[in-house]
Amino acid sequence: MTETTPAASPPLRQRPAEESAPAEDFATPPPKNSGTWSGLRPLLLRLHFYAGILIGPFLLVAAVTGLLYTATPQIESVVYRHELKVTPHGEPKPLTAQVDAAREAIPGGQLVSVTKGAGDDDTTRVTFNVEGLPEGYTQTAFVNPYDAKVRGTLRTFGEWLPVRSWFDGLHRTLNLGDFGRNYSEIAASWLWVEVLGGLALWLGAPRGRERLRKLFVPRRGPKGRRRTLSWHGAVGLWVSAGFLALSATGLTWSAHAGVNIGRIQDSLGGATPSVSSALGHGSHDSGSAGADSGESPAESSAARIDLDEAVRIARSEGLRGKLVITAPADAESAYVVRENTRHWPEQQDSVAIDPVTGKVTDKLVFDDFPVLAKLTRWGIDAHMGLLFGLANQIVLALIAIALIGMLFWGYRMWWLRRPTRAGGTRFGRPPARGAWRRVPGRAMAPLVVMTAVLAYCLPLFGLPLVCFLFGDLAVARARRCERARTDAHAETPKEMAR
């Protein structure tokens, strides 16, 4: 977050020569001319400054909680090793026997899914809906596939175990429920604004020789505002792509903007497809229960397949890795078996299988997903540190640390600009007001339209922006009234002297 250099005034204290140099500071006003950039720059500078000061705390919380989240896979592998891993011995028991054991461990639960691990040392997860749990949470039994004994039960959120679900909730909602989602959406809605604004200011700053080196390499030398600004700009340039990616992917599943983004994606034909579990309505040519088999209904109903047979059929259709099996909900529904490989190369293939005949009634291959649906899937899994494993986690941790550093340097620059003539603690001066008046009409008109569209699509970008504007107007009016009263008091003794 950057701010403009104040107008020339009597020096308050002696500064080092490095601090007083006018070059290379993108907060230094550019030469006056009639160009569009010279008009937009002060407005962009003021927005970048105020958004940094006021949205900074939201970004800081998101960065810290995101940094903590990156370590959860390793924490879970240690904390829940007993539930997650077994020593292979002999042949696995039938999945039906494993589900029966899970039902005994979680009585009264409604079966949701059975997850067969990708490795021989993975336990089988049997997930149930249980009354009394918060929305979105389930109870999962972890069964040893070799002896059908339950190794433990845990409350899960999707596929996340308690540690990861807690840190995930902390990052998304501060564990405050739906209300807490607003904080993370504000951070995601403004991060890209801060990044693009900062890039424009940093790349558009006047520089002398060695331009590229000064763009990418932070300044060395005495500590001070100029050096802090150099670190803020150079590091921001290096990490900007990561910031933009996190902002975009975070918005895709946000409470308000996510709905609008989903509608836009659907209208462009990029909705994420899914197989149909309804018998007789699948898109696969195999047809529905007994359609081409020549069997009578009685004969078909006697040939009902079990979970292991559903897995075998799915494997024959090319599904590999971890499989999630959803049992038929009723007599008109099929088994749905889905591959859940969320690391590269990602696979989300799925099939629907008639529980009577064993025929595949519908099939969906991840390679056939629309491009937008693939990008969304990849982006979300990269955001969660899943797509490229440990390397992905390390990159996310570095991005989070960089964002924390950017905020520290921004607030430090604000602190270094504080007045020092009077005693007491004072805040740094903001960029000059009235910047919008310098923007040419040919640029202001499309800017207003674009901002209005963005505010509609991203409500938690638009509402804070309106608050900024009204707050700024209120402060300006209060200062004008204060100056008017001061001038009136100053004039009174003169009039009395006359």
Is residue 344 within 8 Å of residue 390, measured between CB atoms? no
**Spatial separation of the C-alpha atoms in residues 190 and 57, rounded to whole Å:** 12
- pLDDT of res. 237: 94
Q: What is the pLDDT of residue 479?
A: 76
Sign (positive/negative) of CA torsion 9, 14, 18, 19? negative
Can you tell me the distance from the alpha carbon of 151 to that of 133, in angstroms, rounded to the nearest whole number?
21
Q: Which of 58, 62, 57 is nearest to 167 (CA)?
A: 62
In the prediction, which pLDDT does 281 show? 46
With H, G, I as helix, E, B as strand and everything else as coil, classify residue 362.
strand
pTM: 0.82
CA 117 centroid distance within chain: 28
Contact, 472 vs 433, CB < 8 A?
yes
| Dist CA 181 CA 186 (whole Å) | 9
Task: Tell me how far apart the alpha carbons of residues 40 and 116 are, in angstroms, rounded to a whole number.
Answer: 57
Exposure class string for 180-208: b at 16+ Cβ within 10 A, else e? bbbbbbbbbbbbbbbbbbbbbbbeebebe
pLDDT per position in the chain (498 positions), as tens?
A: 444 333 344 444 444 433 333 333 444 444 444 467 777 888 888 889 889 999 999 999 999 999 999 999 999 999 999 999 999 999 999 999 999 999 999 999 999 999 999 999 999 999 999 999 998 999 999 999 999 999 999 999 999 999 999 999 999 999 999 999 999 999 999 999 999 999 999 988 766 556 677 788 887 767 788 889 999 999 999 999 999 999 999 999 899 999 999 999 999 988 999 999 998 644 444 433 343 434 433 334 444 889 999 999 999 999 999 999 999 988 899 999 999 999 999 999 999 999 999 999 999 999 999 999 999 999 999 999 999 999 999 999 999 999 999 999 999 998 888 766 555 556 556 666 666 667 777 878 888 999 999 999 999 999 999 988 888 788 778 878 877 787 777 666 555 555
**Contact by Cβ (8 Å): 355, 334:** yes
CATH topology for 273-368 is Nuclear Transport Factor 2; Chain: A, (3.10.450)
Query: Rounded CA gap, 456 and 159, in Å?
Result: 33
Q: Cα–Cα–Cα angle for 246, 250, 252, nearest 5°?
A: 125
Show me where the domains of the chain are located. Answer: 21-67+181-262+395-419+428-485, 81-160, 273-368
Check: CB of residue 300 under 8 Å from CB of residue 289.
yes
DSSP string, 249-260: HHHHT-SSHHHH
Q: CA of 406: how far to CAs of 121, 194, 410, in Å?
A: 43, 11, 6
Q: Which two tokens stand for residue 453?
A: 């569209």
Q: Which residues, including other chains, have CB under 8 Å from residue 497's CB and lie 6 or more apart? A: none
- Angle at which helix 441-457 crosses helix 257-267, to 10 degrees, equals 100
How do 323-326 and 110-116 pair as beta strands?
Answer: antiparallel
pLDDT of residue 468: 84
DSSP H or E segment with residue 114: strand 110-116
Report the Cα–Cα distance between both ends of the chain, in Å, rounded: 51
- Domain pair 81-160 / 273-368, same fold: yes
The answer to whether 125 and 142 are in contact (CB under 8 A) is: yes
CATH class of 81-160: alpha beta
**Angle in degrees, 0-180, between the axes of helices 181-203 and 459-497, rounded to the nearest 10:** 70
Residue 493's pLDDT is what? 59
354 close to 304: Cβ distance less than 8 angstroms: no
